[in-house]
Amino acid sequence: MNPGDLELEARLQEILRASPSMMQVLETAAALDLPDWLIFSGAVYQRVLNQLTGRDPDYGIKDYDLGYFDPDISYEAEDVVIRRVAAAFQAPLSEMVEVRNQARVHLWYEQKFGEPYGPLADSAEALGRFVSPLYAVGVRLDRSGEMRIFAPFGLEDLFQMRLRPNPLRKTGGFEGTAASAK
């Protein structure tokens, strides 16, 4: 990792730590101790875009995507986790935290989005399949409160508000601009 990456990681952590609602979600998720969990998507990248454009940190945040990875891919096992997570949050966050077992995504993705999606090995692997590197950022708190950032394409696109297609995807699904993101 080059020094520029470390600087962007520090900036991202500063932005996320300055958001009380994001920290509440991260701290609650850490306390739940789900296997291989991450908060990703708009809850992360939208806060950076908001900071860069002078908006309120929570502007446009519609949900918090909480992915975890459990080899038990039964719907019943995922439902137990969904209920457990919902019970851990108070409104309005209880309605905003959306939980999905990343080990199950390949079971429903093609039917919902019309393109194949092979099984994942862990939660972070999902980030490499997002439609744009700008969106491909996940975060978790470890038990000591240290924030870990997962960004397979780095953070430069995000901080430059550069929306481009994921170079690893062979199919479509890429639309929009950073200005219209969430």
Q: What is the pLDDT of residues 95-135, one digit of tens each?
A: 999 999 999 999 999 999 888 899 999 999 999 999 999 99
Q: Please name every residue paired with 149 in a beta bridge, in sequence order, or none if there are none.
A: 139
What pLDDT, on a 0 to 100 scale, did the predictor assign at position 179? Answer: 41
End-to-end C-alpha distance for the chain, whole angstroms:
29
Alpha-carbon distances of 107 from 3, 78, 132, 151, rounded to whole Å: 39, 13, 22, 24
- Residue 67: C-alpha distances to residues 39, 82, 154 (Å): 6, 11, 20
pLDDT for position 25: 97
* Sequence letter at residue 100: R
Tell me which residues of the chain have a pLDDT lower than 70.
1-3, 171-182
pLDDT of res. 3: 62
For position 45, what pLDDT does the model report? 98
Helix (H) or strand (E) holding 82: helix 75-88
Between the alpha carbon of residue 176 and those of residues 26, 126, 138, 162, 164, the distances in Å are: 28, 20, 21, 11, 9
Query: Does the bond joining 133 to the residue before it have cis omega, within 30 degrees of 0?
Result: no
CB 40 within 8 A of CB 67: yes
Q: Looking at residue 2, what is its pLDDT? A: 58
Q: Residue 99: how many CA atoms within 13 Å on its side-chain side? A: 27
Q: Which helix H or strand E contains 83, and what residues bound it?
A: helix 75-88
Residue 108 is predicted with a pLDDT of: 94
* Residue 150 three-state SS: strand
pLDDT, residue 170, reads: 74
